[in-house]
Chains A and B, each alone.
Chain A
Amino acid sequence: MQQEFSKAEKFWMNFKLYQLWRFIVLNIKVYTVAMMSKGK
């Protein structure tokens, strides 16, 4: 069981370019799932 974040995980959590990619991906994901309920 994971008890602490590894050095690699911490690196990626703060690596700006990678986080910009995640920002785009997460926005699309959150927007897509949130729109699922709009049609109800």
Chain B
Amino acid sequence: MAKILIIGAGFAGHTTALYLGSKIGRKHEVTVVSNRDVFSYLPSWVWVGVGHMKPEKTVFKLKPVYDRKNVKFVHAAVKEIHPDAGDQYVLADEVATGKETRLDYDYMVIAPGPLLNFAGTPGLGPENGFTHSICSYPHAIKTRDAYLALCERMKKGEKVKIVIGTGHPMATCQGAAFEYIVNVHKDLVKKGLRDKADILWLSNEPELGDFGVNGVQIKRNGVVQKSDEFIKSVFNDHGIRYQIRAGVTKVEEGKIYWQDYEGEEHVSEFDFAMLIPQFKGQPFKYIGKDGSDVSSKLVNPAGFVLVDAKYGLPYPELANTPEAWPAKYQNPNYPNIFAAGIAFAPPGPISKPFTNKNNVAIAPAPPRTGMVSGEIGRIVALNVIDAVNGREPSHSERMSEMVAACIASMGDNLWDGSAVTIVMRPVVPDRKKYPNEYGRDLFVSHLEMGLSGAWMKFLLHHTFMWKFKARPGWTLIPE
């Protein structure tokens, strides 16, 4: 009987756990260790952040689901990983008791989600800073409370400044921030307060609508349309000001300091700001048999797990090497360790990076959340099953082959709401397979805005909560 340990229970880890539990959970020991005992449906936090959805509707307890799926659950915070052959284990502190627990493994999947690196930008974040975030459950609730308090001030006639976007020159997840800014706009319109708010989109993207994936391009009526034109139209229509190519370097009370491509320093004032922090890998200790630090064999300096990618290529070469992106998500030094979701180290950025004269790199990091996370989680589960059965991992899907669909909410109301439906193939452009300027399949890729998107977003919330609860037919629902 093999022992399989999964660190993390987000989109990637939970997907891996459900597949492993369902397929081999009766014969082998599948364990999930996570410092949170609930699954969180992150995409709906944009609605929590404006008070349109109760936070408890976005979470559910993991243990009852795992009990049904032959998965053991340990509610503990991982601190050390001992990966050397012969004595492979993880040390974690149980959340309830603080007691140290040892978890032995034969195969491990590292999928703990990101470390929200608020410390990477002085003054950023809701705990030790002045800005808000919708990147965690407590943060989304705190953001909602701050936003509703701001609305009360506006009701009294006060004019306010709202800034939403990225809070680090190398932050990712612009999509979530985009959803939030448009939901804030729509909510203020509904409340009759829109004229009291000056709303600014502040982002590290090289172009509007880049979303860290080099934008989305589609062909409609024989003409190529690009997401930058589309998002520009949305912002112009909604009266949202925008500033791209901005690397936020510091935040003080009411002031955001940022640099542009030319290295010029600017200040944007705010009464309320929601800025996405930089993501880093979780700060686990990786310890060898002799007690030495073996982290260089497992993770990159940012703490993301090294997998079967081609690292170190300069951007122009990487942009033309789709096979540089990992296929099996397996660590080359420890083949029994896999990584899924945001935890794996990408070979580089998808969007064109830029470093200004002050040596500030302003470049969105590649997003590996949502559907991408789920797809990788499933691929990894199937590869672990191969390995457990004594076969070479045979399942692969590079982000340069992967299709991703995203519904970006722009108002949740089912009567007059809206959303942008985005489909892109592949996520990472492949200029060899799709020899156009964008490296994308312009027939499959899709970008459309309308009320139908709001219905789809609503449907997705309920469909995915069903799937992640492993209710009947969950495997029929794609990742």
Contacts and interface: CB of A to CB of B under 8 A. Distances in A.
**Chains A and B bind each other:** yes
Interface of A: 1-5, 12-14, 16, 19-20, 22-23, 26-27, 29-31, 33-38, 40
B456 A5 contact: no
Interface of B: 225, 229-230, 232-233, 236-237, 371, 375, 379, 395-397, 402-403, 405, 416, 418, 421, 423, 425, 444, 446, 448-453, 455-456, 459, 478-479
A35 B478 CA distance: 6
A27 B453 CA distance: 10
Nearest to B406: A30
A25 to B, nearest CB: 8
A34 B404 CA distance: 7
A26 B452 contact: yes
Nearest to B418: A13
Contacts of B444: 33
28 contacts: A2-B229, A2-B232, A4-B236, A13-B451, A14-B416, A14-B418, A14-B451, A16-B451, A19-B450, A19-B455, A22-B452, A23-B456, A26-B448, A26-B452, A26-B456, A27-B456, A29-B423, A30-B423, A30-B456, A31-B478, A33-B405, A33-B423, A34-B403, A35-B478, A36-B403, A37-B479, A38-B478, A40-B396
Contact of B236 (A3, A14, A26): A3
Contacts of B456: 23, 26-27, 30
Nearest to B395: A40
Contacts of A37: 375, 397, 402-403, 478-479
Contacts of A19: 450-452, 455
Nearest to B424: A33
Nearest to B379: A40
A2 to B, nearest CB: 5
Nearest to A33: B403
Contacts of A13: 418, 449-451
A12 B418 CA distance: 12
A38 B451 CA distance: 28
Q: Majority SS of interface residues in chain A?
A: helix
Contacts of B232: 2-3
B452 A30 contact: no
A13 B151 CA distance: 28
B477 to A, nearest CB: 9
B160 to A, nearest CB: 25
Contacts of B395: 40
A26 B419 CA distance: 12
Nearest to B327: A40
Contacts of B396: 40
A28 B459 CA distance: 13
A37 B404 CA distance: 10
Contacts of B237: 4-5
A40 B451 contact: no
Contacts of A35: 478
Contacts of B479: 34, 37
A12 to B, nearest CB: 7
Contacts of B459: 27
Given A1-B229, A3-B233, A33 B452 contact: no
A40 B405 CA distance: 17
Nearest to A13: B450
Contacts of B229: 1-3
Most buried by B among A3, A16, A20, A34: A34
A35 B476 CA distance: 9
